[in-house]
Homo-oligomer: A and B are copies of this chain.
Amino acid sequence: MGKRRHSRAAGHGLLRPVPFTRVEIDDCFWAPRISANRTETLAAVHRGLKETGRIGAFKLDWKPGQPNKPHIFWDSDVAKWLEAASYTLAAHPAGTLARQVDEVVTLVVRSQQPDGYINSHFSTVEPDKRWTNLRDNHELYCAGHLMEAAIAHFQATGQRRLLDALCRYADYIGSVFGTGAGQKRGYCGHPEIELALVRLYRATRKTDYLALARYFVDERGRKPNYFEFEARGRGEDPAGHFPLSYYLAHAPVREQREVTGHAVRAMYLYSAMVDLAGEACDAGLLETCLRLWKHATDRLLYVTGGIGSSRHNEGFTSDYDLPNDTAYAETCAAIGLVFWSHRMLALTGEGRFADVMERALYNAVASGVSLDGRRFFYENPLASDGRHHRQEWFGCACCPPNVARLLASLGGYIYSEGEREVAVHLYVAGSAKISASGQDIALRQETLYPWDGRVRITVESSRPARFAMRLRKPGWCVKPRVAVSGSRVAGRLGRGYLVIDRVWKPGDRIDLCFPTPARRVYANPLVRADCGRVALERGPIVYCVEGADNGAALESLSLARKARLSAMFEGDLLRGVVTVTCPAAKISALGWKDELYRNRPGRARKVTLKAVPYCVWDNREPGEMLVWIREDR
């Protein structure tokens, strides 16, 4: 892959994502989740934020000795909820949610200090500690999330007051940080502000924000290391609890050759790097991103799209170290992978990025929230002895509002548009208003995806228009079929997309068929945890076995390699899912009495294994769960 093509693809890209405000989703998979997100999750998160004092903290009236002492990362929780709520308001502008948003916006705006600073912790608890510990204190991280919330709020409501406040805050940050005389040469221990500043630039076209984002990215990891310098300034040992790689600050970002550290931090930083590579046609930075992408997806990716295997650093360990029962795979990290993938896709147009985005969305992200929208996974292991369950709230409450903002803006990940091109990245029933060849075009997707691989796309326009329709061939699909208005067409395959370049007449129908047999997946033998095991997939869905369907002792189950997999839609199960069944063997515990060890193996009896989508596990009675099932050769 040459630099030339990437630099051509860079800039604003040939294709721009179609914003979620022009996309409607009415499919069987996401629409109910987006609805539960609006009616349940946003209310539950708001309640959590309110009850724990996170919203009230912006009144800046906390005094020592009082409860609910504002914590350094509280503002980010409120900001992510505000962002999610704003996205939701764009489609449903009235009601309780609008009042709640208004109240929070008012509090945040009023909390702004005369110099522009906004932070509920440092304005009350430690006013003398502002900008003294960028490594640990999440100040710029919180600022970044507030910027994203402000942009969402402006775009949803047209109101400028939060956006203006955050622009003032960004201007102030720009005066504090940089390479100029008297400026601090710091950057945040938890990346986030970098991508937020690019978004702020795109919303306001003020190039200072882009330059500040670039400063934060380029300064990161330079020698002498700012975090060490800063720790010495506080009179502390510069060697902190975590190594610099945990913060992605062990080397300048362009010299980082491997994915490392805290998974969410890595994803947010890499996302900003792609943004900057695109804005500046920076082929070198894009090469760095491509190299890191390859490392992440060739060595560190769970089959569910989860990343960051270790609880210790909430992040990455060594190549192929992908334990299942102790998998951390934080929901926020999978969301971060969606952000990164989507940006890589936007910049390169290559389907492999959409493949990973789809894998993460339908599996590791969707598992993050219960079907009723009220309970959340922080960790998404691939095996459970029955003791791992979603919770209503967390002391570190990053995941619930993060999944809320992604679901509320999911429409923005489905399509892209360009001068003479339209791309469909995800197959989600619904419609979109798109601009191509100088006219407004309405696309309508009809499909039961992900349960069925047939998709009909109808093109509605006032007059014929010539453009290339780029239809993603899912990486899991071997032989796609495509027809236009009833006639089979070959289509050119380019960068993972079926390209049909023609004059589209009003009412033209594209019929896609991606056959979805249930299939077996094997991990590279270097993945210790998955040797001798098989996972089941169908379409974009990764399956698991649960105690509710298979009884206890799931490890005693095994599949014969040649046993036939069957798939069936069960409308009454888990709000409607396709299940996969297969003849299997189960080592019987009968006849063992109290023996713990013996020289004769246990008898295997024939059973039928039933697998359900991983993303819906733990929505029934508590029990064991397993993704990688033992396989008999």
Contacts and interface: CB of A to CB of B under 8 A. Distances in A.
A597 B632 contact: no
A556 B294 CA distance: 24
Interface of A: 294, 297-299, 301, 303, 321, 385, 519-529, 531-532, 534-535, 553, 555-556, 558, 561, 585, 587-589, 592, 594-602, 604, 630-633
29 contacts: A294-B594, A298-B594, A298-B595, A299-B596, A301-B596, A385-B528, A521-B598, A522-B601, A523-B596, A523-B597, A524-B589, A524-B595, A524-B596, A525-B588, A525-B602, A528-B555, A529-B555, A531-B553, A531-B556, A531-B630, A532-B532, A532-B555, A532-B558, A532-B587, A532-B630, A535-B597, A558-B633, A601-B631, A601-B633
A630 B630 CA distance: 10
Contacts of A556: 525, 531-532
A556 B521 CA distance: 16
A299 to B, nearest CB: 7
Q: How many chain copies does the complex carry?
A: 2
A560 B588 CA distance: 20
A522 B600 contact: yes
Contact of A592 (B525, B602, B604): B525
A525 B596 CA distance: 9
Given A526-B589, A594-B298, A599 B531 contact: no
Contact of A519 (B299, B558, B599): B599
B599 A525 contact: no
B526 A553 contact: yes
A293 B188 CA distance: 56
Contacts of A595: 298, 524
A475 to B, nearest CB: 10
B561 A601 contact: yes
A596 B303 CA distance: 9
A351 B631 CA distance: 39
A586 to B, nearest CB: 8
A529 B630 CA distance: 12
A298 B589 CA distance: 14
Given A556-B531, A630-B531, A522 B299 contact: no
Going nearest first, the 6 A-B pairs with the smallest beta carbon separation are A531-B555, A525-B587, A298-B594, A525-B556, A528-B555, A525-B589
A108 to B, nearest CB: 38
A519 B598 CA distance: 10
Nearest to A630: B532
Nearest to A555: B531
